[in-house]
Structures are given as structure tokens and as C-alpha cells.
Structure 1
Amino acid sequence: MGAEQATPAAVEARGWGWRHASRLAWALRDVSFRIEPGERVLVLGASGAGKSTLLHGLAGVLGGEEEGESGGRLLVDGAAATATRGRAGLVLQDPDSQVILARVGDDVAFGCENLGIPRAEIWPRVTAALEAVGLDVPLDHPTKALSGGQKQRLALAGLLAMRPGLLLLDEPTANLDPHGVAEVRDAVSRLLDTHPATLVVVEHRLDVWLPLMTRVIVIGEGGVVADGPPHEVLGAQGQRLADDGVWVPGHPPAFPPPPGTAPREVLLSARGLAVARVKGRAVATGIDLDVHAGEAVAVTGPNGAGKSTLGLTLAGLLPPAGGAVVAAPELADGADPAPIRWSSRDLLTRVGMVFQEPEHQLLATTVRDELAVGPRALGLPEDEIAARTDELLSRLRLDRLAAANPYTLSGGEKRRLTVAAAIATRPRVLVLDEPTFGQDARTWAELVALLAALRDEGSAVVAITHDLDVARALHATRFDLGGLP
């Protein structure tokens, strides 16, 4: 491609579909549409509808026959998408999987170098891209020291620097704070103004993107179920789409009822706590926090404030960089009061953790076996394991996926699976990092209702989230790091 300016790409699907090699059911099937060069398209659909698979197909990264089976045709500029990979740039749901190099500047420059862009042009592009997405760190800043939200900005910066003809964004703002969401959207808008491209965005929470979009395509069973200008699709068909789980403005999901009793005894306390991912590099200090039985706590704040690191430290998975995390006698139940000293088996019934990136805690080869890992480690009888597993499969809409490989699930399905796996051992404290990531309106409501039920049964729920509706729905106590309003 060199230094020449890319032109917007044309995209066409002709009865296209994809089935993962380990799955009997197709991820999506019979999808047909044409996107003209320069169009800005928002792709909607329920969790598991195949939206991410479509973007992977357009980017040409689904793999060959050993990875799965395709049907129909998927074209970019009239050629098979697999033959036009340089035309498309993709930001994945999980930005951690896109970090390649150890330093921020090198990582952003990587794509440009692969495209053969002259070195003298690469670094001005890198600097401009980092500024556009609001990632204000030195070029030699270690990528391993970035938060999940910062890694999302890093991935987007790498895409913007390449200036492809087709921009494919898979929930690009899912783990960003509200300021970061607007910043990323505006960065994409500015790029399109100066370097026109075709834009395809997959997103559940769509309000922020609608002003940029010229078209909405809704994917459902049987292919495309709605296609047209945003006001027509979301207006005339809004109620039907909302009933199917699509997020539609003006059709909010139901909130669970408020708790019937006040929070009870303290289960976990932090005093003068400092937290760090990299030794000697504390990201937050002076934290004092009590977590009560029967309470939901929402940990909020901007990207990079240390929210995820705090969650891992409370859960006994990272040592405090200063101060202490102490379990109450009721929670410790005879063990050392410091969770960091507990064994993994001790943690199972005391503190459960749901990571921001679901792939980091998948262990089994089927969804059903994934849910059985914890209960089996506790030595529970097989009939009890089966009962717990069946209940969670049903409650979190994973029953039809019981025999599937967890890695073939959608992002939203993986999130529900990791929540279910953490709940399966019935810990007294549950720490969840972005628990509603990737959920459609229906599964969002069901997941929040499940967390509310755990709270009402006497568990403590700590939700690290940028989704302030989660805090409101759970009537959570807000604990803010970094001054988020």
C-alpha cells in the first residue's frame, strides 16, 4: 500500500455463513447485503447472533477449512475477503489479544510497517493516532502496564495509523469510561473526515455511534432481519427488535427490585491499600473499602485508575503493593485473614473472580465441563455438580451451547460462561470485572437479576464497571477511583 491514500472499500455478502469446526450449529447463515464505499454501518443483533464472526470474515481472519466451514460468498471490492486482508483493519472485542509488541509506540507502528509505509511517515502517524484516541503515555511505555481500556485505545490507534479502506470495529468502546467512549468515537469521526473509509461497527449500546451512522443492519436467525436508515429501522421496528434482545433507544431493559434488607456484616476490608500490576508501579493508593454481606459495590472510575487491579487484589490474586486486604473471621473460616495467602481451593468458596478478559480463565473443552471445574475441585458429588451446572446453563441461556468449545462462543456468551463458572462454587464474595460486557438487552437484564439475587441471598457483589446502569440496577454503593462523576 505504501504511503498512498486508501480509498473506501465496497463490501458484499451473498448468502454467506460460517460454522466453527467444533460446532454443529452455524454461527450465522444466509447473510446477504451490499455496503457501498464510504457507508457507515452499525451491525446489531442479540448476543450470539454472529456479529463478531461477520467482522472476522470481512477481515479475512477466520482461517481455512481446519477452522470451520463457510457458505456463500463474502467479498471486499469484488474479491474474496480472504484475499484482500490489507484493505481492512479490525479492532477485536478483546484488545489484549491484539497487543503484539512490548512498547506502545512499536505496537502502533507494527501494522504500518507490515504495509510498507515509509519509516519517515510511520512515526508522525503513530503520534497522531495515539493523540486521537487519548492514550497519553510515552512511546516507550510498556504495553503490559496498560489497563484493559487503555489496550482498547492502543488497538484502535494501531488501526487508525494504518488508514485502511475498511474499518471494522467490534464493540470498540465496551470497556472504556464515558469520556473515553466519546473520545474514541470522535477519533473515528475525525479519521473519516480526513481519510474517508467504509465503516462497520458492531455494538450493543448504540447511542454513542448513531450520530455517525448512515445505516443499520440487524443480524438474526435466518440472516439479515432488518436493514435501512437508523431512524427507520429503530423506529418502525424498535419494539420487535427490543423483544429479540437488541438494544433500542427508548426501550430500556427491566431492573430487578431493590434489596429488601440493609447490608449486613463486613466480609472483606481494605485499609491503606495500594495496588499494582507491575512491581514498584502502584496505580492506586490509600484505598479504604469495606465489602458487606448482602451488598453490591460498584467500582467506577476512568481507564487506568486501577479498578481491575483493585479487583484482583481484593480477590487474593495480586499481593497488595501497600496496606492490607483482610477477610473477616466469618469469611476466612479459620484460614489466614489475608486472601493473598489462600490456596486456589480456599478461594473457591470464599472469593470468586470474573476477569475482564473471559479467555484468561477458560480451562475446559466444553461449556458444561467449564462450569464443573470449580465444583469438581471442591470434591462435590457428581449429582450435585450436574444439578448446579444444569441450573446455570438454563439461567444464563447457555444450555444450547453445553457441548460447545468455550473458545467458539461469542464475547457475550463467554462473559456469561465465566460469570456462571464463578457462581458455581457459591463464593460469599463475588468480584466481577465488566460483568455486562457483550450483552444484549435481554441477557443484560437476566445477568443483573442474577447478581441481585446473589446479593439478596447474602453474598457480596463487587462489580467493576463503566456501565453505570449496572450500579443503578443493583442499588450498588459507588466506590470511585479517579474522580469519575
Structure 2
Amino acid sequence: MTEILSLQNITFTYDLEQPEVKNAVEDVSFSVEQGEWIAIVGHNGSGKSTIAKIMNGLLFPQEGTVEIFGMPMNEENLWSIRSQLGMVFQNPDNQFVGATVQDDVAFALENNGVPYEDMVSRVEQALEQVKMSGFMNHEPQHLSGGQKQRVAIAGALALRPKLLILDEATSMLDPQGRQEVLDTVRTLREETGLTVLSITHDLEEAILADRLLFMNQGEKFAEGKPSEIFALGEQLIALGLDLPFSMKMAHLLMQEGVSLEGTHMSERELVEDLWISNFKK
């Protein structure tokens, strides 16, 4: 597999004049391979947002190196790197600039000088990918939260990025909207091999990732598969990260004497385990 993102020994502080203040990010290293879905999780103040800004070139670390798509992240390469990144942010209402859905998806393409015929094709394809083709002429403000974020994803996909970054992209959505967005990203990844990096505190989003990075007080506390990270259990709770509902429910059931096996990372896994272990004859 091809490595498309590498952060090596990154350290960043917001106030160099106060050395006694703890660094926002302290000696963090990780990489992302092409086609992976990586989730960065942690409580508020853990360093997630700072890492997002470093990956997008909004901040440059005082120590360490950042390499994206084989290029060092610096002022010389910044715009070339950004042209290959797709970003979807927290509040969908803050992302719209067009009068209609198709205008909004086309906005970044126009800014990048994409020819009109190619732009039309890309807009149609991107909206089809997120199942929003029927809303091309709708006004964005009349869409639901989940639909707005799907349009925001379409705007990112129209640029044909090598890496899609979701920066708390589901945090302001209701459960239905959140599920719409996660289903969209999961389908896109399965169909196109899109590389995804999500910065999130949403456990249902984190569970979908191939690998989790758990941040705590600016440092990388743990890295591994979702099942490996959530197996830390009480350690995560003590550091401000909750466990998936299905895992907490499984724990309560076992305390009551119900026989269960497996990791129970999802409600479906828990239901299937209950059926196999206790009801299936």
C-alpha cells in the first residue's frame, strides 16, 4: 500500500513565550495508507483540532515533519497539497456559498479554473455519488442537516481528492442525519477506495474506521483497531472517552449473568451474540 500522509514527531505549542504551558501536541507520529479509514478520537483539548490544522497547513509544527502525497508540508507546497485534500467541517450551514446545490458544489471547481464542460460532469457525478442528484436546483438552506453534509461531501469529491478529511463532520447532526453521512462515506470508500481521515468524538463514526488514534492531553495515548482501543475499557472512561452503547449494554448484561462472547462493537453484533449464546438451539 502507498503511504499518503505521514506525521513524524510533531510538537506544537500556541504560546512560545510561555514554556511552562503544556504543548497542544507533543511528539505525535502516525501515517495513513491509501484506501484506509483512520479516526482520531479524544476528549476536548486532547489535540485533535490542532492535528487537523497541521494536516491542512493552517498551522506548522515547531518540531517534527509533515509529508502528504510525497511532498513536505511547507509554504512552497501548501496549495499543491490542499488541491488534493477534501475537507468537510463541523457546521454545514457555514460551508454553503452557492444559491443552489449545484452552484455550491461547482464553487471550488470554478475557483480552480476547471473548464465548464468538465465542471458540469464533475458536479453531476459528485451529487450522484452522495445520492443527492434530485436536489441539484434546491436551495441549500432548505435541506436537512444530513443532506447539507452530503452536499458538502459532494463539493469535496468534485475536486477528486486523494484524501477526504472529516473534521467533526457529524457532531451537529441528529441521529438520522449522522447515519446518512456515515452511510455515504462508507459506500464511497467501498466503491472508490477513497482514503478517509475522520476527527471525531462520535463513537459510531470511530467504529467504522480501520484504525483509531486515541489522543490525550496532546499525546498519542493508543493506536490500533477499534476493537483493540475500546478493549481498554475503564482506561478510556477515566480519560474522558465513552464506550459504544453496545459494549456498555453487553457489560451490564454479563453482570446480570447473561452469557455473551465477542467484542460487541455494534448493536448488531450484540443482538447476534445474544441470539447465538442464549436462544439459538
Contact 2:101 2:136 in 1 (8 A): yes
Give the structure with higher Rg (CA): 1
Q: For residues 67-121 of structure 1, what are the alpha-carbon distances to aligned partners after superposition, in whole Å with 9 as ceiling and x for unaligned? A: xx63322221232335211121111123333223333211111223344544333
**TM-score, normalised relative to structure 2:** 0.73
Q: Counterpart in 2 of 1:100?
A: 97
What's the C-alpha RMSD, in Å, of the aligned pairs? 2.9
Structure having greater relative contact order (Cα 8 Å, sep ≥ 6): 2
Query: Quick one: percent identity of the two aligned structures?
Result: 36
Q: For residues 237-259 of structure 1, what are the alpha-carbon distances to aligned partners after superposition, in whole Å with 9 as ceiling and x for unaligned? A: 2220121111322348xxxxxxx
CA gap 1:9/1:186 in 2 versus in 1, 3 angstroms: farther
Q: Counterpart in 2 of 1:14?
A: 8
CA gap 1:187/1:60 in 2 versus in 1, 3 angstroms: same
Give SS of 1:32's match.
strand
Contact 1:103 1:139 in 2 (8 A): yes
Give SS of 2:63's match.
strand
Cα distance in 2 between the residues matched to 1:230 and 1:48 = 21
1:244 aligns with 2:239: yes
CA gap 1:192/1:149 in 2 versus in 1, 3 angstroms: closer
Cα distance in 1 between the residues matched to 2:185 and 2:17 = 35
Q: Counterpart in 2 of 1:53?
A: 50
Q: How does 1:41-440 map to 2 (within 5 A)?
A: 41-62=38-59, 70-82=62-74, 83=77, 84-135=81-132, 138-146=135-143, 149-211=146-208, 213-235=209-231, 237-249=232-244, 250-251=247-248
User: What displacement does 1:190 show?
Assistant: 2.5
User: What displacement does 1:226 show?
Assistant: 0.3
**TM-score, normalised relative to structure 1:** 0.44
Cα distance in 2 between the residues matched to 1:197 and 1:181 = 19
User: What displacement does 1:41 show?
Assistant: 0.6
Aligned residues: 239
Cα distance in 2 between the residues matched to 1:175 and 1:243 = 25
Structure 1 residues not aligned, in runs of 5+: 1-6, 253-485
Cα distance in 2 between the residues matched to 1:194 and 1:136 = 18
Cα distance in 1 between the residues matched to 2:248 and 2:73 = 36
Contact 2:90 2:172 in 1 (8 A): no
Contact 1:130 1:136 in 2 (8 A): yes
User: What displacement does 1:228 show?
Assistant: 1.2
Give SS of 1:42's match.
strand
Q: Counterpart in 2 of 1:260?
A: none
